[in-house]
Every structure is written in structure tokens, then in C-alpha cells.
Amino acid sequence: MAMARFAHLALLAVALALLPGIALAGEPFVPSWIKNDPAAKTVAIEIVADWNQVERYRRDNIRTDIIDFNGYWGGNLTIVVPAEWSVEIEFINGSSSFRHSLMVTRVYAQSEMPVKLTAEDAIWGVYTDPPEGIKINERRQLNFVAQQAGNYFLACARQTHLMDGHWIGFEVRDSIKQAVAIIDETNFPQEQPPGRP
């Protein structure tokens, strides 16, 4: 009897893990590239596009078509910031080959992603100019207030990069004391090199 109940619970756990949208998220942490200043209600975030490109090309049998932000892509990391805080993003194109950009957008299901994001898609008008991307080794600063709680994307507006997975989650949340990052482990293949610590 007890064994049967245990088996049912185990099955339930497996079913939950397989359900899309129910992510088994990791513990919130503050990576080296997020600097909180609670007294000033400000967070500074440094985001490097194609941070892991070199490492991927160096390894054998690793997908090289992943384009990342700080080593994360396709929503397998979400940055969570307190509502009403000022957000200062330093965006660096670390790619050795491609232009990239950064834009705050609404949440898109994979099936409804536009082929290409335009300036009109930017929430609060927050995007690096031009949307087609800055050149390699260029940088831009984005300064804005996280004015409304909710779920958003930080996405690249270049060509088809959003559809290709060049986005991470961005959440504005009430009642948290500092900005954190959360990795979605179920969405991060073990064979991939880890993201930026």
C-alpha cells in the first residue's frame, strides 16, 4: 500500500517535470555580473552577448549555433529585479562574428515569436540602438525604471535571433529585497559549458 502510494508520487513528479511551462527552477543567486545597491534601489547588470561562443567552438561535439547572453539562452536563465528599482544594464557584444542587440519585450510563446523584433516591440522603449545590433566589441548602456511587475524577455532584436533562442527571462517582482538570477536547470543541457558565474 505504502509502496503503491510512493509509486504514484514518483509518477506525479515525473509528469510535472515533463509538463512544459512548469520549470524546475534552481535557487535564486546573485552572479558576479549583478550588483545590487538596495539603499539607492538600483541594480547594475552587465550582459555580454555571445559570452560563451569561444568556449563552444573550442569543444568538440557541442552545438555552436547557440547564441547567448552571459552563457544563457532560450529562457534558461531569468533575471528578477525588484519593482520600482532603477536598472542600469551595460550591454557588451562579445561575439567574434555577429552583431547583437538587447531589448525588453513582452513574453512570447515560441509559436508566436515575430521573425524580427522592431523598436515598437520594446517595452518602456528600452532597447539598444540600432535594433539590428551593435558591432562586435561595442557596448551600450540602458537605464530604466522597472516600473511594472510582470514577466518580460530580454531579447536580441537582430534578424531571427529571438526565434533562434537569443533571449533570457526578465521578471519585475514586488516584495523582493534585491535582484537575483534563477537558472532553469531543466532547460540547460548538461553537456553545455556553464553560464557566466
Which residues contribute to the site for Cu ion (CB under 5 A)? 100, 156, 158, 161, 166
The CB-nearest residue to Cu ion is: 156
Indicate the residue among 87 and 156 with the shorter CB distance to Cu ion: 156
Residue 161 and residue 124: Cα distance in Å, rounded? 21
Contact criterion met (CB below 8 Å) for 33 and 46 = yes
**Nearest residue to 80 via CA among 148, 28, 37:** 28
* Least separation in angstroms between CB 173 and Cu ion: 26
Distance CA 110, CA 89 (A): 25
The nearer residue to Cu ion, 103 or 180, going by C-beta atoms, is 103
Give the residue with the Cβ less far from Cu ion, 158 or 180.
158
Supply the minimum distance, in Å, between the C-beta of residue 137 and Cu ion. Answer: 15
- Please, are residues 30 and 178 in contact by the beta-carbon 8 Å criterion? yes
Min separation Cβ 1 and Cu ion, Å = 55
Choice between 84 and 132, CB closer to Cu ion: 132
Closest distance to Cu ion from the beta carbon of 153 (Å): 13
Would strands 77-82 and 180-183 be described as parallel, antiparallel, or unpaired?
Answer: antiparallel
